[in-house]
Every structure is written in C-alpha cells, then in structure tokens.
Amino acid sequence: MSPLVGGAIAFAVTIGLAGIGFLRLLGTSDRLGSLVSRLMRRKAGAALARPIVVPGQRLQRRVARGGLWAAFLHPSGLALAFVSVGLASAIVAVPALSEWSGRVPWLLGSGLASYVACVGVVSLWPTSLPGIRGVRQTRRRVASGLSLRIDSSSLTARAELDVLRSAALSQIDDLIVPPFTQLVQRDAGIQSEIRFYERSSLRPNPEVVIRLQTIQAHCVEATRRCAQRAIDAEARLYALLQDRDERAFISALDSWVADLGHLATEVAGALTLPPWDVQTLTSEPRVRGSTPMNRGIAERMPSGFVESTRHALRALNKPGLLMKSDLVRLLPESLAEVRRRSAAPGRSTGSPLEQGQILRALLVGAIERLNVPSNEELTAYQFQVLRMQYVMGLTVVQVGVRLSIAEKTVFRRSKEGVEAVANDIWCREQVARTEAVAEDNESRA
C-alpha cells in the first residue's frame, strides 16, 4: 500500500472518529444540545441542524441503554483510537515526520489494542450513574466504619457486632442497592427520552412536554426521598459509632439495622408506585354485571403474548425499551383505562414515553394483585419472585437466597408468575373493551 493511500485511509478514519465523538458530545451536553435545538426551531437552521442533532440523540440513547453500544462508544476508547490514528495520519502526511513512517503499524496496532482493551473493561465492568456510585460509596463507608469499630471492641462484643454487621450489609446489598439502582436507571432513562423528544421534534407539543416533565418530577422526587433516607441512616450510624459504651452501642446498632428494613421498603415502594395519583390500581375495573375473573376471556390470547409480557417485565425500569413493547399495541383499552383514572387529562393516547409509563403501572398492578394471603403459598411465591426479580432488579441467586428456595424453583415460579400476569392483563383488556363498546353505544343512544 502506497503512503498516499495509507494516509488517506488514516485521515478518513480520523474524521470518522472525530464525527462520532462530536455526536456523543452533542447527545450528552445540555448547552450544545439546547443551542442546536434552538437553531432547529428556526427555518434557517432547521435544515442544517436536524440531520446533526437527531443522530446524536439516537446515539446517546443507545449508549444510555448500556451493553456493547456503551462499550464501543466509550469516550476513553474513542479518544485512544482517535489519538493513535491521528498521529499515524500526521506521520504519513507530513514529510518532516517521514523518518517515523516505519513505526506507523506499531502505532496503529497499539491504538487498536488500547481500544479493544477499553471495550473489554467497560463490557465487564460498566460505568455507573452518579446516583448509583453514591449509594455504593455509602455502602463502603458503612462497612469500613463498622469494621473499624469491631476491631477496636472487646472480644466479648465482637461476635454480636459481627452478626449485626453481616445483617446490615446483607440488607444493603440485597434489598437496598439493587432497587435503588433500578430507580436511578429509570430516572435517567425518562430524562433521556424527554430530551430526545424535545430536541428531535421541530415543534414539541407543550402539553406533552408538561406531562412528561410531571412524570419525571414524580420519579425524581421519589428517588430523592430514598437518597435522603440513606444519607440520614449513614449519619445516624456515624453518631452511633462514637458511643464508647459497648452494650448501649450494640442495642442501638440492632435498632439501626431494623430501621434499614424500613428504608428497603420505601425504596421498593418508590419502584412499585406509578408516577401518577392512580386510585386503586390493583382493584377491579368498572364492569357491568361481571368481573374479569368470572366473565371469561372473550377473545383468545394472541400467540406470543406471554413472551411479550416477559420482555416487557424485563424492561420494566428501562423506559426506552418499555415504550416499544408489543403490549402497548395489544392493550389499548387497558392503557386508556389507567390513563383515565390518573391525573393525566383527556383520553388521547399520549406520547410513547407516557404510554410506556402507563404500561409499567399496569404491569406493576398485575404483579401486586398476585399478593394473596399466606395460605396461598404458590401464588405468594409468584408475587415475591416477580417483585424481586423485575421490580427490584434482584438476580435469580439473590431471589433464591432471600426466599430460601432453589434456583430451579425461582425459574419455575417466575415462569408461572409471568403466565399469571399475562392472563390477568389480557382478561382485563377484554373487560375494558366490553366497557368501551358499552359506553359508545350509550353515547350514540
């Protein structure tokens, strides 16, 4: 390959990497995005700005979902590749640097190896959002403070303190960190979708923007309350650690560990409650003369409906994926019913993000309806498994440990629970359709 051809290829790759970096900057920078968004709303700048801002926002949405996209487009990896290819193109293009031309393959090879290493590191250890990093740092400070206090305690008190430390860290790791992570990811996803709508639309609908901002405000407020409770708990622990009376400290620490259960309940509740003031979400809908449980299913459940329900449950706290679920198309009347019972005005379908949030409320309500008295052990396990696995974001191993059941049993109860949820929401959709037809007939009469 001639130096001219190699230089052209290196220059093209450099320009491509610079373009990808600019699109990522456009997707993450509020000021730059707002500037381009204002240009889009002017006729003179719309034709130029729209082909730039929309790809940048789509790229950022893919990165926000994590996975391989986040690894391949990580700023560190792109910067390493850009620097190596840029230097190689400069060596080939500038005559004064021709004496270094023999090292161009090594330079490109090292840049490629660095990029691949960065992709591998980000894939194995994904970067966390600031809120998630904060709660993990709090966990480390709690563990460090308790360990230092145990090391300085007498031998007779260490056994009791070890038990309490294990109980506290177990609650934090299993019941607080996973659902709080789901909260932060949900809030970040909603914010990303709102920004994408505002910047990709030439004239965003103010009513839709206000409704989406209301959804975001409810979710952010719930997350803020939980974060404040965690900060208060850490401050209380710091004050307890200063008590030199061992017996009093053990008693106070036992009470502090019990209070962690209330924090875990509040975090799980923030994930469970819908972002509107929906009344009796788990109750039966208005039906003339029958209920979903005794009326029967008027129309056969579509093939693949259970699998669509499972995919929607997996994306329960990922707004960008949930709003594209097949259930949005298959459950129009149920979503409209939840919307009518919420604070959202009108009977319009709303934006895709709002539809996704309504679907989330519908699915969470179906899971909550599985919460029956303890004598129904099978259904109770289905409720607990689905709530821990999909709402709180626990792994199968964590669910099995919390419920003291085998992993095979967790998979079995999860499969049964998903089928029960699918049957429940499909049956309610049939009832909602019957109700809608009856209302239409009354209005015509």
340-379 pLDDT, tens per residue? 776 554 445 567 888 888 899 889 889 988 886 654 556 6
pLDDT on residue 12: 58
> Which residue, 106, 124, 142, sits at the end of a domain?
124
Same domain? For 77 and 160 the reply is no
Map tokens 């095979």 to a residue. Answer: 408
> Binning pLDDT at 50, 70 and 90, where does residue 311 land?
very high
3-state secondary structure of 72: helix
63 and 184 fall within a common domain? no
Quick one: pLDDT at residue 421? 93
pTM value surpassing 0.75? no
Claim to verify: residue 208 and residue 136 sit in the same structural domain: yes
Cβ count near 418 (within 10 Å): 23
Residue 430 maps to a domain: yes
Q: Considering the domain boundaries, does residue 83 fall inside one?
A: yes
Class of residue 442 by CB neighbours under 10 A (exposed 0-12, middle 13-18, buried 19+): exposed
Q: What is the pLDDT of residues 372-401, one digit of tens each?
A: 665 455 667 888 899 888 988 888 888 888
pLDDT digits (tens, 9 = 90+) for 150-192: 888 888 888 898 999 999 988 888 888 888 888 888 888 887 7
| 89 and 187 inside one domain | no
- Residue 235 half-sphere exposure toward CB, CA atoms < 13 A: 6
Domain boundary among 93, 124, 155: 124
Say yes or no: 226 and 362 in one domain.
Answer: no
Shortest CA distance to 391 belongs to which of 274, 278, 283? 274
Q: What torsion, rounded to 10 degrees, do the Cα atoms 352, 354, 360, 363 define? A: -80
Residue with tokens 């109770």: 380
**Domain shared by 339 and 259, yes or no:** no
Domain finish residue from 124, 146, 175: 124
Other CB atoms within 10 A of residue 335 CB: 24
Residues 191 and 254 in one domain: yes
Instruction: Tell me how far apart the alpha carbons of residues 142 and 150 are, in angstroms, rounded to a whole number.
Output: 12
Based on the fold, state whether residues 345 and 237 are members of the same structural domain.
no
Does residue 437 carry a pLDDT above 90?
Answer: no
Q: Are 147 and 139 in contact (CB under 8 A)?
A: no
Would residue 40 count as lying in a domain? yes
Residue 195 and residue 78 share a domain:
no
* Residue 282 falls inside a structural domain: no
Residue 284 belongs to a domain: no
Of residues 11, 356, 404, the one with CA closest to residue 197: 356
Q: Give the separation between CA 429 and CA 332, rounded to whole angstroms.
A: 8
Structure tokens at 183: 């909260």
Alpha helices in 125-205 (DSSP H): 130-151, 155-171, 177-200
Q: Are residues 296 and 344 in the same domain?
A: yes
DSSP string, 17-67: HHHHHHHHHHHH-HHHHHHHHHHHTSHHHHHHHHHHHHHHHHHHHHHHT-T
Dig out the tokens for 86 from the structure: 């840029």
In a domain, 87, yes or no: yes
Q: Are both 120 and 134 inside the same structural domain? A: no
> How far apart are alpha carbons 68 and 55 in whole angstroms?
18
Task: Give the pLDDT score at 434.
Answer: 84
Domain encompassing residue 434: 292-444
Interatomic CA distance for residues 153 and 176, integer angstroms: 28
When computed from its CA atoms, the radius of gyration of the chain, rounded to whole angstroms, is: 27
Q: Could you give the angle at the alpha carbon of 359 between the alpha carbons of 356 and 364, nearest 5°?
A: 125
Question: How far apart are the C-alpha atoms of 102 and 99, rounded to whole Å?
Answer: 7
Q: Is 35 a member of any domain? A: yes
pLDDT grade, residue 308 (50/70/90)?
A: very high
Of 278 and 254, the one with more pLDDT: 254
Confidence class for position 61, pLDDT limits 50, 70, 90 = low
Same domain, residue pair 157 and 37: no
What is the distance between the alpha carbons of residues 14 and 21, in angstroms, rounded to a whole number? Answer: 11
What is the domain count for the chain? 3
Residue 419 placed within a domain: yes
